[in-house]
């Protein structure tokens, strides 16, 4: 588990950048029951205002990591892609046992994270998807529960029998500790692929159920509490570059949140992602909208 980084983190940037990405959605209830094949889920699109303060170059990517050694489960990974100009966010849960070869050695993302922390996990994602290396934010259980409290928890349909949850297939309210319990449950029938799909769908639900106006009005207080609880490489320079776009999202956005379920094959204890899956994500969410090329395309 990577150690917490303090001091060099720019409070104003994290204040708006991360919470804006995760928590400016409108109020709504979204439930998800695990399905076998990849499917993108989209909420109905609201009518929004427009303003010319966000450009496609303001699009940005964050690797969300939940690191809870006490849960006796591999760390949890989710790729978040935000396009402020279109007020779109994509959540993609990444199986912790997803593998690729790096410098001639096979690693899973969890193994590579254990070697080098958030930077290595971000490098893993960059190579796997063929994109620029994303920023990362690492939460432990305490920090995630605080984030959940700030966002107001989530209503979600729990499709597995876990102690401490209501015995119902209908939506039920989950607090931070319950969310951590679900996201780190190690015994899903379809293993880490199913766990990753639940990570993406639950976080997407949390985004769209949060009260963006309330969060915007209390960002200073909330993030001053949260800032020292996370480990991140987001800097003041990042904030300066993205500030206008972030303000655009906060002021005008009721965000459409979507998630994608990764496609691939379980091979023993590992998961091999289909080569076509990262390309599909790149083509829709990582294009340079002026040149029509992806970030790593020649």
Q: Which residue, among 235, 232, 209, has the nearest Cα to 151 in the 3D structure?
A: 209
Domains along the sequence of the chain with CATH: 12-35+50-286 (3.40.630.190)
> Mean pLDDT in the chain?
79
Range 67-75 average pLDDT: 93
Structure tokens at 148: 């959940």
> Per-residue confidence at 23, pLDDT binned at 50, 70, 90?
very low
Q: Is 226 exposed, middle or buried (0-12, 13-18, 19+ CB in 10 A)?
A: buried
Contact indicator for 88, 42 with CB cutoff of 8 Å: no
Among the ranges given (253-262, 271-280, 282-291), the one the predictor scored with the smallest mean pLDDT: 282-291
What is the distance of C-alpha 291 from the center of its chain? 27
pLDDT in tens, 181-229: 999 999 999 999 999 999 999 999 998 887 666 665 665 566 667 767 9
Q: Measured between alpha carbons, how far is 275 from 228 in angstroms, rounded to an integer?
A: 38
pLDDT, one tens digit per residue, over 77-133 is: 999 998 888 888 899 999 999 999 999 999 999 999 999 999 999 999 999 999 999
3-state SS record for 233-256: CCCHHHHHHHHHHHHHHHHHCCCE
What pLDDT is recorded for position 17? 53
Query: Whose CA is closest to 194, among 67, 29, 33, 30?
Result: 33
Residue 105, strand partner residues: 102
Q: Report the pLDDT value the prediction gives residue 220, as an integer from 0 to 100.
A: 59
Q: What is the distance of C-alpha 120 from the center of its chain? A: 17
For the whole model, what pTM was predicted? Answer: 0.82
Ramachandran sector of residue 268 (left: φ over 0; alpha: ψ -120 to 50; beta: rest): left
Residue 8's pLDDT band (cuts 50, 70, 90): very low
Q: What spatial distance separates the first Cα and last Cα of the chain, rounded to whole Å?
A: 36
pLDDT surpassing 50 at residue 262: yes
Q: Please give the backbone phi and psi of residue 93, each rounded to the nearest 5 degrees, phi first.
A: -70, 135
Q: What is the pLDDT of residue 42?
A: 43
Whether the pLDDT of residue 64 is over 90: the answer is yes
Q: How far apart are CA 8 and CA 91, in angstroms?
A: 27
Going from the C-alpha of 191 to that of each of 196, 214, 265, the distances in angstroms are: 9, 37, 11
pLDDT tens-place string over residues 133-182 = 999 999 999 999 999 998 899 999 998 999 889 988 899 999 999 999 99
Contact 95, 192 (CB under 8 A): yes
pLDDT of residue 195: 97
CB 65 within 8 A of CB 113: yes
Q: Among the residues of 152-190, which ranges form H helices?
A: 176-183
Residue 66 has pLDDT above 90, yes or no: yes
Task: Specify the pLDDT at position 55.
Answer: 84
287-82-158-39 Cα dihedral, nearest 10 degrees: -20
Question: Which DSSP helix (H) or strand (E) runs through 17?
Answer: helix 11-23
Residue 26 has pLDDT above 80, yes or no: no
């Amino acid at each position: 588990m990577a150690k917490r980084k303090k001091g060099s983190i720019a409070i104003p940037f994290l204040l708006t950048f991360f919470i804006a990405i995760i928590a400016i959605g409108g109020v709504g209830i979204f439930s998800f029951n695990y399905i076998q094949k990849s499917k993108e889920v989209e909420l109905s699109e609201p009518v929004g205002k427009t303003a010319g303060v966000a450009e496609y170059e303001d699009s940005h990517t964050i690797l969300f990591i939940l690191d809870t050694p006490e849960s006796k489960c591999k760390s949890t990974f989710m790729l978040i892609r935000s396009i402020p100009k279109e007020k779109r966010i994509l959540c993609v849960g990444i199986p912790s046992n997803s593998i690729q070869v790096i410098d001639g050695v096979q690693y899973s993302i969890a193994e590579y994270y254990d070697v080098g922390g958030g930077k290595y996990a971000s490098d893993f994602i960059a190579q796997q998807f063929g994109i620029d290396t994303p920023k990362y934010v690492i939460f432990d259980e305490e920090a995630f529960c605080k984030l959940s409290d700030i966002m107001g928890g989530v209503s979600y349909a729990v499709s597995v029998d876990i102690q401490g949850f209501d015995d119902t297939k209908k939506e039920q309210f989950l607090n931070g500790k319950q969310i951590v319990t679900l996201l780190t449950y190690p015994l899903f029938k379809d293993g880490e692929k199913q766990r990753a799909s639940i990570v993406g769908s639950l976080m997407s639900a949390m985004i769209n159920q949060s009260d963006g106006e309330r969060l915007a009005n209390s960002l200073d207080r909330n993030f001053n509490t949260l800032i020292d609880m996370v480990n991140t490489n987001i800097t003041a320079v990042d904030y300066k570059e993205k500030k206008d776009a972030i303000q655009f999202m906060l002021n005008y956005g009721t965000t459409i949140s979507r998630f994608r379920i990764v496609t691939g094959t379980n091979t023993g204890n590992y998961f091999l992602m289909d080569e076509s899956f990262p390309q599909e994500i790149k083509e829709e969410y990582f294009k340079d909208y002026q040149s029509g090329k992806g970030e790593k395309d020649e």
